[in-house]
Structure 1
Amino acid sequence: MTNNDILVRLRYALDLKNQEVVEIFALGGYEVTMDDALKILTKTVYDDWGEPIETDDHMKCTNAMLESFLNGLIVFKRGPQEPRPGQSAQPERLIKNQSSVNNALLKKVKIALALKSEDMLEIFKSAGVNVTKGELSALLRKEGHKNYQECGDKYARNFLKGLALKYRS
């Protein structure tokens, strides 16, 4: 699943308007125009070998853009937070490579929507996936922790599906 697919699904699940998407990017420290936002939110077109095709009406969402959006979503939903003494104003980057994108998505959406672990388990269950508390805890751990587990596309896709069922029904 590409970063663009994640943004499209997240936007749908949370019923965000185009202007809100631009505002969320700005809150996360990444400036995009309305035109750029529309290009980012177009579905990715793939060639016969499953590779994404770049077109003039499609803009690739980088890891930095996605993380800025997720950080902006936290500020958009919960309000700005004053940094504690000795804490930097910019949050630590969680997305270090493509394999950590889905884990960061789960963590940041959990924070933005003030979800508890039970809420997340319920969201997964509504999408037809049974996740145990231990598995969820492993998905939410910091990369490098001994119990850290990489979140696959199946979990991320079903989490976004469950969010859509919860927030759009």
Structure 2
Amino acid sequence: MLHNDVLRRLRYALAINDTAAISIFKLADYDMDMAYLHAIMKKEEEEGYLPCRDKIITLFLDGLIIKNRGKQEGQKPGELAANARLSNNDLLRKIRIAMRYKDEDIIAILNLAQFRMSKSELSALFRKPDHRNYKPAGDQVVRNLLQGMVKKYRSGGKGASTSSVVASHSPATKSQRTAQGKNEGTARKKENTAPKKTDSPSNSVWGKV
């Protein structure tokens, strides 16, 4: 999967605009040029497209980790070695760390994209490459995780939360269905009266960056 697509879908899922994206790169000690950012956000068939290098997507993910978990004192973000490649497994690991996902969270988000994966299958993706149970992650896993994140965070509040997806496998009782109906009615009223969101840093999942 092209790193351009990963960056574009991550930004969309988390509602990260240009200003916030540049600030995230800055957290990883990288001064991102706006023109270059726009070029790597383009699709291959678009004029002015430039490929997003492994180093760039790594810096962005490291910036997300620092934004969410804080920067460790006395330590600089690790730079990807020259000619080194960021594997899908590494990419998934960085997203997991940045978003503080547990195995159950990732499985639930994959379910939002109609992609089923068992806990043992998922664990194999996070093993060390020399582990006997290690499995390389395919583009399909990354693509569906990003799609699930879009549904979770950008569906106007209709995306299922992790807890509700996990709980949905158990049949609801009559009292639970009644309570759920009342909650949904209240949520719809709030949604109808709530001000419309704009694409600004404050509306990002990350808040003001």
The answer to whether TM tops 0.5 is yes
TM-score by length of 1: 0.82
* Equivalent in the alignment of 1:33: 33
Equivalent positions of 1:108-127 (< 5 A) are 108-127=94-113
Structure 1 CA distance for aligned equivalents of residues 129 and 44 of structure 2: 28
Equivalent positions of 1:77-156 (< 5 A) are 77-82=68-73, 89-91=76-78, 93=80, 96-97=84-85, 100=87, 102-156=88-142
Runs of 4+ in 1 over 4 A off after TM superposition: 92-95
Preserved contact between residue 13 and residue 146 of structure 2 (Cα < 8 Å): yes
Structure 2 CA distance for aligned equivalents of residues 121 and 96 of structure 1: 29
Equivalent positions of 1:41-56 (< 5 A) are 41-45=41-45, 55=47
Q: What is the SS of the residue equivalent to 1:39?
A: helix
Aligned AA (2:99):
L
Q: Which runs of 5+ in 1 are unaligned?
A: 46-52
Aligned AA (2:77):
Q
Whether 1:72 aligns to 2:63 is yes
Instruction: Output one character per residue of 1:85-124: Cα deviation in whole Å (capped at 9) or x when no partner.
Output: xxx53337599436x1x21221111111111110001001
Tell me the C-alpha RMSD between the 2 structures: 2.1
**Shift of residue 59 of structure 1?**
2.1
Structure exhibiting the larger radius of gyration computed from Cα positions: 2
Structure 1 CA distance for aligned equivalents of residues 19 and 127 of structure 2: 33
> Matched residues, percent identical?
40
Structure 1 CA distance for aligned equivalents of residues 65 and 19 of structure 2: 16
* Equivalent in the alignment of 2:13: 13
Q: Decide which of 129, 144, 147 is 1:158's aligned counterpart.
A: 144
TM-score by length of 2: 0.67
Q: Which runs of 5+ in 2 are unaligned?
A: 156-209
Number of residue pairs aligned between Structure 1 and Structure 2: 154
Preserved contact between residue 28 and residue 77 of structure 2 (Cα < 8 Å): no
**Shift of residue 11 of structure 1?**
0.8
* Equivalent in the alignment of 2:185: none
